[in-house]
Chains A and B, each alone.
Chain A
Amino acid sequence: MKYITLVLIVLTGTQLARAGDIQYDIRVDGITCPFCVATSVKALKKIDGVHTVGSDLDAGTIIVCADSSVTFTNEQLQQLFLDKGFTFRSFEQKAQCTIDSHSHEGAELENIPEDHTRHHDRTS
């Protein structure tokens, strides 16, 4: 019983932490297959505070869920994707992370509700 309680606490804690995550939709041109995007995903996952990384290849978007300690800049992302061989365009920051629940349900990215709070364009 103690073990089950401990597991529930841990799980609850994890969910609460994830619930506070911020979502970044990063537009990257040139990614066309799961194998192509792998090194970019790996690099993003290495960043402290990043919890989840997904990709919508058709839209050319990489979705990152991270806690509030993570702050992306255009310069940082431009260099990151340049090193991977792709072209960074812009990123959008959303107040809530929706990628996890949708991923488990098998929903498509287009179903994620729009909740833009900030938009960062490399060209702006």
Chain B
Amino acid sequence: MDFSPGTASEVFTLRFNRKHSRPVSLSLLLVSLLIGQPVLAAPIATNTALPLSKHEFIFREQFSFLHARDDLSGSKREITRFESRSVLGYGLTPKWAIFGVLPIAQVKREFGINRTKQSGLGDTSLFTRYEIYQADKPGRTFRIAPYFGVRAPTGRDGKTGDGSTDFFSGLISTLATTQWVLDSQIRFDLNRKADSFKRGNVTRLESSFQYRLSPKQVTINVKGFIFGVLELGAFHYERNQIMGLTDPNSGGFQLFLTPGVQYATQRWIVDLGVKIPVVSRLNGNALEPDYEILTSLRINF
């Protein structure tokens, strides 16, 4: 499922903004946008409605590396963020599953002569997903599942945590065959106020298409599938509020494209993708990300 393990970097950016300069606050938006990553699905950067069996566990360890850099009025702005997200899912029933996400982040920021480095545990998330529709045929399935979650301020406020308790909810649909899989989701993040800052709410529409490249034909002794993956994500960000005032250098729209590859066996899945912003219409002069590299390993028990 999708989470905001980058919360740490968001908060970090916020504090940085407050203490230093307004243009930097723009980067808050972009960094926060890139933070949301999937934790359970077959897709790389979005979610899936495929089932988690009753009384079964699934574990996913995802790593991401984000880089953003530009020059603003002669001053270099650069952010690099490395993050690991440990996700554990458990099937309460065949349709109802719960997930927990534990992010650990390291963020390096440079704005002019100011350089900072923050690392540590981020804000943990808990969410639940329930499948409301299932239509199965031989080698094919269609599922719809809403989910709801909360992100708790377990990280260090202003360093690796957001400080606020936020909520998120979404609806996922998955159409899967043995040849290809199409995952789509709509999600809304309701961000609450912490101290004098309220991050803008986020609405996103994402889709992931996975096509089996190998083997060409499925046999009974196939050990694994290689999928080519192409994902598209549209994000709308509301403006942030600082001390009750709207930050004009926040909010906007972004469209991301994530090409990647995935290898799926019975016990584990590995994937690798690169998330690239193809459209950025952000308010003000926010720092735009150059790319984000995503890789993960999923294991079922």
- Check if A54 sits within 8 Å of B220, measured CB to CB: yes
Q: How many residues of B contact A (CB 8 A)?
A: 40
Taken together as a complex, chains A and B put the C-alpha atoms of A32 and B221 apart, in Å, by 15
Interface membership of chain A positions 61-75, coded 1 if the CB is closer than 8 angstroms to chain B and 0 otherwise: 101000000000000
> Per a CB cutoff under 8 Å, which of B91, B95, B138, B222 touches A60?
B138
Identify the closest chain A residue to B51 (Cβ): A85
Query: Is B290 engaged at the interface, CB distance under 8 Å to the other chain?
Result: no
Taken together as a complex, chains A and B put the C-alpha atoms of A112 and B91 apart, in Å, by 35
| B124 CB to nearest chain A CB (Å) | 26
Q: How many residues of A contact B (CB 8 A)?
A: 37
Taken together as a complex, chains A and B put the C-alpha atoms of A56 and B220 apart, in Å, by 5
> Per a CB cutoff under 8 Å, which of B42, B140, B222, B268 touches A30?
B140
Report B-chain residues with C-beta under 8 Å of the C-beta of A87.
134, 136
Report A-chain residues with C-beta under 8 Å of the C-beta of B56.
39, 84
Interface membership of chain A positions 25-50, coded 1 if the CB is closer than 8 angstroms to chain B and 0 otherwise: 00101111111111111000000000
> How many inter-chain contacts with C-beta < 8 Å in the A-B complex?
115
Report B-chain residues with C-beta under 8 Å of the C-beta of A109.
219-220
Identify the closest chain B residue to A107 (Cβ): B219
> Per a CB cutoff under 8 Å, which of B178, B181, B224, B300 touches A58?
B178
Q: Which positions 67-123 of chain B face chain A at CB distance < 8 Å?
A: 91, 94-95
- Check if B94 sits within 8 Å of A29, measured CB to CB: no
Interface membership of chain B positions 275-301, coded 1 if the CB is closer than 8 angstroms to chain A and 0 otherwise: 000000000000000000000001010
- Check if A29 sits within 8 Å of B136, measured CB to CB: yes
- Check if B51 sits within 8 Å of A84, measured CB to CB: yes
Query: Is A113 engaged at the interface, CB distance under 8 Å to the other chain?
Result: no
Query: Is B217 engaged at the interface, CB distance under 8 Å to the other chain?
Result: yes
Interface of B is mostly: loop
Identify the closest chain A residue to B180 (Cβ): A32
- Check if B139 sits within 8 Å of A54, measured CB to CB: no
Taken together as a complex, chains A and B put the C-alpha atoms of A116 and B50 apart, in Å, by 33
Interface of A is mostly: mixed
Identify the closest chain B residue to A32 (Cβ): B176
Identify the closest chain B residue to A30 (Cβ): B136
Report B-chain residues with C-beta under 8 Å of the C-beta of A107.
219
Q: Given the known A-B contacts A35-B269, A83-B94, are A27 and B138 also in contact in the complex, defined by CB atoms under 8 Å? A: yes
Report B-chain residues with C-beta under 8 Å of the C-beta of A35.
42, 264-269, 298, 300
Q: Which B residues form the contact surface with A (CB < 8 A)?
A: 42, 50-56, 91, 94-95, 131, 134, 136-141, 176-178, 181, 217-225, 264-269, 298, 300
Q: Which A residues form the contact surface with B (CB < 8 A)?
A: 27, 29-41, 54-61, 63, 82-87, 99, 102-104, 106-109
9 other A-B residue contacts (CB within 8 Å) besides A34-B225, A86-B136, A103-B221 = A30-B136, A30-B140, A32-B181, A33-B178, A37-B266, A40-B53, A57-B139, A57-B178, A103-B220
What are 16 sample pairs from A and B whose C-beta atoms fall under 8 A apart? A29-B141, A30-B136, A32-B181, A33-B42, A34-B224, A34-B225, A34-B266, A35-B267, A35-B298, A38-B266, A39-B56, A57-B178, A60-B137, A87-B136, A102-B220, A103-B221
